[in-house]
Amino acid sequence: MGLYGENDKQGQYWNEQPGQSWVIHDAAMNERLQIISDILFEDLEVLECKNGLDIGCGAGSTTRRLHETLGKEGHVTGLDISGKLLGVARSHSESNGLHFLQADAQSYAFDREVFDVVISRFGVMFFENPVKAFQNIKSAIQPGREMRFVCWAPMSANDFFISPLKTVVDITGVSFAEPGREPGPLAFSDRTYLSSILQEAEFSSVNIDVVETSINTRDSVEQNAALLMEIGMGFRAIKEADPSDEILSEIRQAFINDGKKRLENGVISYDATIYRVSAMA
Ligand SMILES: C[S@@+](CC[C@H](N)C(=O)[O-])C[C@H]1O[C@@H](n2cnc3c(N)ncnc32)[C@H](O)[C@@H]1O
């Protein structure tokens, strides 16, 4: 096994340059994902949990929120493959009831049946072997308790992905195929496939709701353009195209112009579609 368990490629990705972008833009992404976080946490308090796990917790925004939701008696673990993102998470807070663990969720030897809730905001789509990963996660959940996560519906239903991508493709001519089921943000965008993975991992009561929502920011159009140059599908296409500085400026300006069209009452908005997934161990 490599340095990052059974997910060496993703481990490198999230510990090196692209992961670094998430470190720099953590606050900006939390702002953009605020509504989606609220969807993830809807009614969570009624589950009356005491021991929670946040998979692919990144810089820990949802881990901290889970800890607040569970209250003083609660224990929460944020698990992530990226030491860089966990560094940010730990700098916010770590206490008796809240701690962070660097590990590969697919191969980490969890204690069995300890957690009474597992959550994830976009942190479970990066496994080489998703069935094995979810079997491993399930082994750590008390029988009958809930795992819930949000993941992305297809790219065509997500403006935040498709719009910057189209801009980069139009300007550079780079060919960029819609990602398939390989590890990545869109790996679970086929609902039937996602359902089959969770069934195969022997979760029960699998429920996948399609939720139409939005990604919003009060950043300036310039700040928003700077973020799009470093995160998301536009960024991935820029890396692929490897354009000159002149073309990079053209792309940045196109992102700014697009931001201006989206701006209303000081807010830049993108339509987004996610799956809200719940399943019982
Ligand atoms: C899109 S980010 C989401 C981060 C965080 N949940 C949030 O919403 O800000 C995906 C996260 O999954 C983590 N990740 C990827 N593969 C992983 C694995 N095999 N085990 C644990 N974490 C993983 C990455 O390091 C990254 O922090």
The pLDDT of residue 9 is above 90? no
Helix 8-15 vs helix 17-24: crossing angle, to nearest 10: 50
Token pair in block for residue 213: 């929502």
Kindly state whether residue 116 falls inside one of the protein's structural domains.
yes
Residue 248 lies in a domain: no
Candidate of 10, 21, 129 to mutate for ligand 1, largest count of ligand atoms within 8 Å of Cβ:
10
Q: Distances in Å between the alpha carbon of 202 and those of 27, 108, 127, 263? A: 36, 19, 17, 45
Give the burial string for 264-273 (b: 16+ CB within 10 Å, else e).
eeeebbbebb
pLDDT in tens, 213-235: 999 999 999 999 999 999 999 99
**Mean pLDDT of the 131-158 span:** 97
Q: What is the number of other CB atoms lying within 10 angstroms of the CB of residue 21?
A: 16
149: domain CATH number is 3.40.50.150
105 lines ligand 1 (CB under 6 A): yes
How far is Cα 211 from Cα 205, in angstroms, rounded to an integer? 18
pLDDT in tens, 175-190: 988 788 999 999 999 9
Total domains in the chain come to: 1
- Picking from 117, 244, 226, 130, the residue whose alpha carbon sits closest to that of residue 181 is 130
Please indicate, yes or no, if residue 50 is contained in any of the structural domains.
yes
**170 pLDDT band (50/70/90 cuts)?**
very high
Residue whose Cα lies nearest atom 13 of ligand 1: it is: 56
7 in ligand 1 pocket by Cβ < 6 Å? yes
pLDDT in tens, 248-275: 999 999 999 999 999 999 999 999 999 9
pTM comes to 0.95
* Residue 251 counted as domain residue: no
pLDDT of 19 above 80: no
Domain coverage including residue 189 = 8-154+181-215+273-280
Q: Which of 155, 193, 158 is nearest to 177 (CA)?
A: 155
- What pLDDT score was predicted for residue 1? 62
pLDDT at position 2 is: 64
pLDDT at position 94 is 79
Q: Ligand 1: distance of its center to the CA of 6 in Å?
A: 14
Ligand 1 center to residue 99 CA distance, Å? 16
